[in-house]
Chain A
Amino acid sequence: MRTGTVYTETVVHAAPDRFAADTPYQVVLVDLDGGGRVAGRSCGERVAIGDRVVELGPHGDFLSFQKL
């Protein structure tokens, strides 16, 4: 599984209908160790800029990460 570092994050409280049931949820941009930056969700414990995360694999049509 890919690992990386949180570049930035936010917790979303106001969402479109299709994500409303998930609120509040955390969206992150992650700098992958192998290069490149991707958008995804952080699942479980909230993360902050600089935290190390691991990809959990595809979750629906978005990437999910968890704190290492």
Chain B
Amino acid sequence: MLSQRPVSITGIGKTRFGVFADRDLRSLAVEAGTRALADAALEPDAVEALYLGNFAGPEFTSQNHLAPYISNALRMSGIPSTRFEAACASGGAAFFHAFLAVAAGVYETVMVLGVEKMTCQPNPRVTEILCGAGDCGPGGEMAAGSTFPSLFAMIARRHMHEYGTRREHLAAVAVKNHANGVLNPDAQMRKLITPEQALSARLIAEPLGLYDCSLVSDGAAALILSAAGGGRSVEVLGVAQASDHVALDQKPSITTFPAVRAAARRAYAMAGIGPDRIDFAEVHDCFTIAEIVATEDLGFSPPGRGGFEALQGTTARDGRIPVNASGGLKAKGHPVGATGVAQLCDMVRQLRGDAGPLQLDRRNVGLAQNLGGSGATCVVTILGNREVL
């Protein structure tokens, strides 16, 4: 980047995540956006651009042209309003590009909003829509009958083969995130599970069972990004986006994601710190194995050790590096386009000391990792207070 000035998150707002038969996509987005404006003490006309993260609104709801559809409903009329699609990293991609514009001095104040309305479609159709984030070409992974659970199941199988990771390690991630979700009043799934329940659950794609998979959810999250800091604002210390092959079969290794490693490397360099300075993290646990691989790619665990460390409690609320204290996608819910923004909202609450029953003791610097597809897009963001570094 040629020039760059400090950028902070000055307001956050989320809806609850869950199954809301009576709520449409726009009403969810408006609720989150309105809350973010109120939290930042801003009127709608102070917002200069809307960066919308949404994966598949047209497929789920038939509504396209979503960004102006939402900005005008929020009375932010006339401003540039654009939808960003990067599969499950759509929210993170919107955030990354919003950050660039504010850091470069194009805008003073913008809104980043992520939303997905999924539960209006039956589960097999949801599975099919999500398949669009993989390689759908003839002779490719999706033509062979892959689903997203099956892509991550193949990653899990390979990780087990190369490193001795076991189903007990996957279950430990599910048990932890469910326990964290119980503390989160906004979580979709507030239910403790035992390792035995996780291990005996209905199989989705072997070796992944029901509790290895995140949820199908409706929800929205929004934040205000501003060149003005102060007050309860939290600074963006580092943020980077990277990409890789969409098809799993094109990756030389499937037990590590180069896009995650590249985004993390750049975000750490921008913040001027390494993984040892991260107090807590929200990572993209679309499947339990994804959290294990993420903790390795982000430098919290050596390669192959993520599952062992999850079982040992390293990533628990009271562990060395708490991961997904919010409950993660597993328990909190995963409205795809909202997820990357929601991770940042949850981190801001921790960094403000405002996380209620979820509050962690060590909370000066947090990292969020938002993954798209089977690793073809990754956004890594580091938030905190520069004074404590």
Contact = CB atoms under 8 A, between A and B. Distances in A.
Given A12-B145, A12-B147, A29 B205 contact: no
A1 interface: no
B150 A38 contact: no
A27 B146 CA distance: 7
B131 interface: yes
B139 A38 contact: yes
B154 A8 contact: yes
B125 interface: yes
Contacts of B131: 16
A39 to B, nearest CB: 4
B124 A20 contact: yes
B204 interface: yes
A68 interface: no
Counting chain A CB atoms within 10 Å of each CB, the highest count among B131, B153, B247 belongs to B153
Contacts of B150: 10, 12, 27
A29 B124 contact: no
A61 B138 CA distance: 6
A56 interface: no
A17 interface: yes
B145 A29 contact: no
Interface stretch (B10-18, B30-38, B155-163, B314-322): B155-163
Interface string B115-128: 00000000111011
Interface in A6-57: 7-20, 22, 25, 27, 29, 37-41, 49
Interface residues on A, range: 20 to 34
Contact of A29 (B154, B161, B204, B208): B154
Q: Looking at chain A's contact residues, is the secondary structure mostly helix, strand, loop, or mixed?
A: strand
Contacts of A49: 157-158, 161
A1 B128 CA distance: 31
A8 B124 contact: no
B125 A62 contact: no
Contact of A16 (B127, B207, B248, B254): B127
Given A49-B161, A63-B139, A37 B249 contact: yes
B276 to A, nearest CB: 32
Interface of B: 123-125, 127-128, 131, 135, 138-141, 143-147, 149-150, 153-155, 157-158, 161, 202-208, 247-250, 254
21 contacts: A12-B147, A12-B205, A13-B202, A13-B204, A13-B205, A14-B123, A14-B127, A15-B147, A16-B125, A16-B131, A19-B145, A27-B145, A29-B254, A38-B249, A39-B141, A41-B144, A49-B157, A49-B158, A60-B143, A62-B139, A63-B144
